[in-house]
């Protein structure tokens, strides 16, 4: 892909090689396969994008021998969140921010990888010349990426309850047992004895009532009296760009963007 002009000067036999089309930078040798890796710079037109924004990801790359297999763009989406839930008769809990006295701490934080290093754009070697920029003497690929929020295995509504594992649901029940109102408890257990309730104070339930809820509440029961349920936490998008040679020598660059949910 390169053309060279060669000039030989007199008795000094000085050989001067001048690249006509593409640069010949000093690069690093791939440690695993003996081939020179590509040079890669990646920039973003918006470094604090919000969900719904479109980010222009610009990859600038070149390689000493101008050998490429492809340039690929990947996305990894993951979220870390607590559950904010309201029931029909005044119960409200937030497992991300539980306050005891003057201390606030999480009791149930869920993590979900929605997408793991998924390819969203590929530029193969046979079309790279379309992206050659003479002035900068490298390939410049600008790609649009939409910051989209996707739900993984945990929906952002009341049906999230069904997706909880048994240990996760046990933790949620423990939080609920200390925050539930008398009226909501009676919706769950209409025949509850008076010994399940306190006569006032911080909690509506006695230890007997707390134990009953922890041991006997089912996901289906709870789902019937949920007024609202939302995830609250962070949603992260990692964008990675990789320049790959025919033998697999890879140079990559990544950046993570966080949003509050």
Give the model confidence (pLDDT) of 151-178 as tens digits: 999 999 999 999 999 999 999 999 999 9
Mean pLDDT for the stretch of residues 187-211: 96
Confidence of residue 27 (pLDDT cuts 50, 70, 90): very low
State residue 202's pLDDT score.
Answer: 86
- In 3D, which of 74, 76, 130, 77 has the Cα closest to residue 252? 74
17 pLDDT more than 50: no
Domain ranges for the chain, please list them.
25-260
31 pLDDT more than 60: no
Give the model confidence (pLDDT) of 215-255 as tens digits: 999 999 999 999 999 999 999 999 999 999 999 999 999 99
109 pLDDT more than 60: yes
**CA–CA separation, 33 and 35 (whole Å):** 6
Q: Are 238 and 258 in contact (CB under 8 A)?
A: no
- In 3D, which of 131, 138, 128 has the Cα closest to residue 19? 138
């Amino acid at each position: 892909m390169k053309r060279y002009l060669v000039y030989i000067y007199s008795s000094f036999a000085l050989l001067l090689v001048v690249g006509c089309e593409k640069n010949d930078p000093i690069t690093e040798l791939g440690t695993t396969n003996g081939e020179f890796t590509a040079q890669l710079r990646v920039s973003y037109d918006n470094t604090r994008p919000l969900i719904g924004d479109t980010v222009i990801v610009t990859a600038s790359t070149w390689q000493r021998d101008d050998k490429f297999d492809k340039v690929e763009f990947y996305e990894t989406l993951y979220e870390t969140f607590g559950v904010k839930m309201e029931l029909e008769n005044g119960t409200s809990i937030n497992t991300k921010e539980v306050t005891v006295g003057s201390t606030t701490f999480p009791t149930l934080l869920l993590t979900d990888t929605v997408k793991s290093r998924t390819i969203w754009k590929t530029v193969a070697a046979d079309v790279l010349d379309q992206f050659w920029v003479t002035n900068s003497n490298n390939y410049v690929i600008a790609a649009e990426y939409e910051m989209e929020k996707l739900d993984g295995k945990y929906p952002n509504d009341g049906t999230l309850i069904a997706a909880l594992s048994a240990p996760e649901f046990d933790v949620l029940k423990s939080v609920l047992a200390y925050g539930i109102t008398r009226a909501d408890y009676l919706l769950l257990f209409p025949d509850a004895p008076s010994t399940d309730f306190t006569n006032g104070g911080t909690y509506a339930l006695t230890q007997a009532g707390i134990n009953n809820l922890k041991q006997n509440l089912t996901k289906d029961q709870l789902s019937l009296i949920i007024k609202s349920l939302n995830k609250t936490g962070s949603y992260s998008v990692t964008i990675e760009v990789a320049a790959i040679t025919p033998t697999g020598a890879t140079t990559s660059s990544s950046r993570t963007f966080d949003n509050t949910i």
